[in-house]
Amino acid sequence: MTKKGKNKKHKNNSPEPEAIEVAENIESQLTEEPRFSPRLPYILLFFITCLIYSNTLWNKYAIDDAIVLTENNFTKKGFAGIKDLMTHDAFEGFFGARGSTLIQGGRYRPLSLVTFAIEYELWGLNPAYSHGVNVLLFALTCVLIFYLLNLLAGKQQSGRPFYLAWPFIAALLYAVHPIHTEAVANIKGRDEIMAMLLAVAALIFSIKYVKENKLSDLLIGVAIYCLALLSKENTITFLAIVPLSYYIFTDANKKQYIIGIAAFVIPSVLFMFIRSQYAPTGILQESSEVLNNPFALATIEQRYATIVLTWLYYVKLLFIPHPLSHDYYYNEIPYVGFASIKTIASLLINVGLAVYGIILLRRKSILSFGLLFYFITFSIVSNLLFTVGVLMNERFIFMPSLGFCIALAYLLVLQLDKNRITANTALIILSVISVLFSLKTFTRNSAWKTNFTLLQTDVKSSPNSSKAHTTFGGLLIEESDKEPDTLKQKEMLRESIDNLHAAINIYPTNSDAWLLLGNASYKYNRADFNTAMDAYLKAFQYKGGGNVEALYNIAIVQMENNMPVLAKENLLKANAIRPNQFRCLFNLAEAYSKANIPDSAIIWYKQGLQLQPNEAMAYHKIGVIYGKQMNKIDEALPWLNKAVELEPNNIVYLEDLAVASGIKGNFEAAIKAATTIIQINPNYISAYYILSTSYLNKGDKATSDQYMLKAQSLQGKK
């Protein structure tokens, strides 16, 4: 900390007066410490951070990476998508126009998405590169945090080795803390990293402005702050961090306060205006679905009592980061009232620490800074001011955790200053904490390898989350489709069913779980299709507005079990709920065709082609209906030719075209189509029969016999 005046060396500038008084008692043991290069702590922090996150380079994409990168239509345009990313809600590239209304208040944080677009332009979908960028950005963040804290500390820590000074200890704890794995190991978490990195850089230049009275530093800081806001909205809390830092660590005068704060307020207001143009900022009607609105089923008391309870869980995870989970959805944290002992304890602890931090302000204590940094940056994600979409999430305290690390580092150094512990003891304590945190971080990174490994791990960490069980159940179905071993496939489907039942037991009206249960049950035992049908009906019943997917699946099961009339009725309902969907129109046509109502089938296929005019299968289906069901070969041929034109190597389309051409006496066309089939698959028996028949009808019996012998030879080998 800097001196406020020549005659005020100790007044209101030390974290604890007694700490200064005893500092001389330990000076002798410190002066004998070896001198280190000033670059060493920066190198160590960078190396340690990269090392403990190095195993993320082998991770794939997971969870929300699809929303921001792998399935984001704007991001996947590369450079061409940057304009869309800057002028739309963060969810619109994935969900479409409805993306801005999915979560109350919307999401406008385009800068991290722009980096993904640049990466996609440069190297496509390559998770190793994206993970590498995350690691490097986080390592740089930790280095800048140390630089910032050193700048704030000034000469207060002179005379002791860097590893026993609170700036390095705080930066090290931040680097190794396992609570940050979600932000770093998940590619999507880059918005958190960039926001923190840029906010810290902005604060550095703002502090340098006060210390060196250079307006250019402030202007650079404000420019960086604008980028931080575009990374994630929670950076706006630095409007309070800046004056707090001025007060505790500098001798800023009134003019510097006014100019410094105003310089950050102006871009904040501008950002909020820009944000309002591209993301909803008003209070939207809260969703009645508890998986989208964590308080949908709570009373007013339960809402706020449970919010307060989560604050205790955050504090617990900061001290003991185990178990970790990406999923705290319903009902992992059950609703409580204010009579709950845990809620009362949380209120006392959090309010007590906040008040204590305010009380310590007059002493300009580092502990005050750490505590208030935590609560100020935490306020925006606490659910108290507005709903953030889930009761709690580990990435939400990526920024606030720095305050915790500062407070913990300061308390450790204070014990050293007061001679309550020796330098060696302090070093042992720091080493033990760092090693334990690093090991936890390194092992937790592995859980983020894929969606499957993450859900397989976290369904145990969050056993009461209906969403975790639902998502894992769905992933097991997907993985079973890839499994060639039928026994293992059955085991996976059985596990999926168990998880989906667990999800439903937690949340009985979970429409998505019922839908997936229907899928898993039908795949597990197609003969018992009534079990699947019951699940689909519940999925439809419990979805607000009706679950269209459930109607689709009911119809598919009905068609596969010779109930096309019932299938078309369900598909007509689905089309009424969500019109102009190609999948629905195509299946409607299929149902009418199976119900032997060919005219209506053709109508629905043609409607589907208006949506997807290059869908070869629809052309083929129309051609087959004209040819086989209605015996109108002349009308069938143009549709079959179009299907082959769109997919010239589709053997089924070629065979039907060859047969239809042969029936109409166009043997050259039949021979051409059949010859193409043989070029694609020399062992396709039907093609040789078509060639034999076509040449016979042309009067070339010798060639016909050759193809017949070939067909019979292949038939005999079967």
**pLDDT reported for residue 283:** 45
Torsions phi, psi for 386 (to 5 deg): -160, 160
What are 303-362's pLDDT values in tens digits?
999 999 999 999 999 999 999 999 999 999 999 999 999 999 999 999 999 999 999 999
Query: Angle 710-714-718 (CA atoms, 0-180°, nearest 5)?
Result: 165
C-alpha 103, offset from chain centre: 14
H-helix segments, 448-524: 451-461, 466-482, 486-506, 511-524
Go through 404-419 and write b for each residue having 16 or more CB atoms within 10 A of its CB, e for each that does not: bbbbbbbebbbbbbbe
In this structure, are residues 623 and 602 in contact, taking their beta carbons and an 8 Å threshold? Answer: no
- Which of 487, 415, 399, 363 has the alpha carbon at shortest distance from 164? 415
Burial of 268 (0-12, 13-18, 19+ CB in 10 A): middle
H-helix segments, 186-251: 190-212, 215-231, 238-249
- Residue 331 to residue 294: CA distance in whole angstroms: 9
- Residue 146 to residue 163: CA distance in whole angstroms: 11
- Residue 631 to residue 218: CA distance in whole angstroms: 81
- Residue 444 to residue 321: CA distance in whole angstroms: 11
In this structure, are residues 55 and 446 in contact, taking their beta carbons and an 8 Å threshold? Answer: yes
CATH superfamily of 614-718: Tetratricopeptide repeat domain (1.25.40.10)
Residue 106 tokens, joined: 């919307």
**pLDDT reported for residue 157:** 61
What are 22-51's pLDDT values in tens digits?
444 444 444 444 577 889 999 999 999 999
**pLDDT reported for residue 13:** 44
What would the 3-class secondary structure string for 615-633 be? CHHHHHHHHHHHHHHCCCH
H-helix segments, 508-597: 511-524, 529-542, 548-560, 564-577, 582-594
pLDDT means over runs of 10, the chain (718 residues) = 39 44 42 70 98 98 93 95 93 74 72 96 96 98 98 76 95 98 97 98 97 95 97 96 97 95 96 87 66 92 98 98 96 97 98 98 96 98 90 97 98 91 94 97 97 96 97 97 95 98 97 97 94 96 87 94 95 93 94 95 96 96 95 95 96 96 94 95 94 93 93 81
Burial of 92 (0-12, 13-18, 19+ CB in 10 A): buried
Structure pTM?
Answer: 0.87
- Residue 75 to residue 94: CA distance in whole angstroms: 9
Q: With both helix axes pointing from N to C terminus, report the angle between 110-123 and 190-212 in degrees, rounded to the nearest 10.
A: 120
**pLDDT reported for residue 95:** 80
Go through 552-574 and write b for each residue having 16 or more CB atoms within 10 A of its CB, e for each that does not: bbbbbbbbeeebbebbbbbbebb
**pLDDT reported for residue 333:** 97
**pLDDT reported for residue 288:** 80
Phi-psi group of 322: left, alpha or beta (phi > 0 → left; psi -120 to 50 → alpha; rest → beta):
beta
> Maximum distance among all alpha carbons in the chain?
119
- Residue 59 to residue 123: CA distance in whole angstroms: 17
Give domain limits for the chain.
614-718
Query: Angle 40-41-45 (CA atoms, 0-180°, nearest 5)?
Result: 120
Within 8 A by CB and 6+ apart from 277, the residues are 87
**pLDDT reported for residue 159:** 67
Give the CA distances from residue 475 to residues 332, 497, 520, in Å, rounded to whole numbers and listed in that order.
20, 11, 11
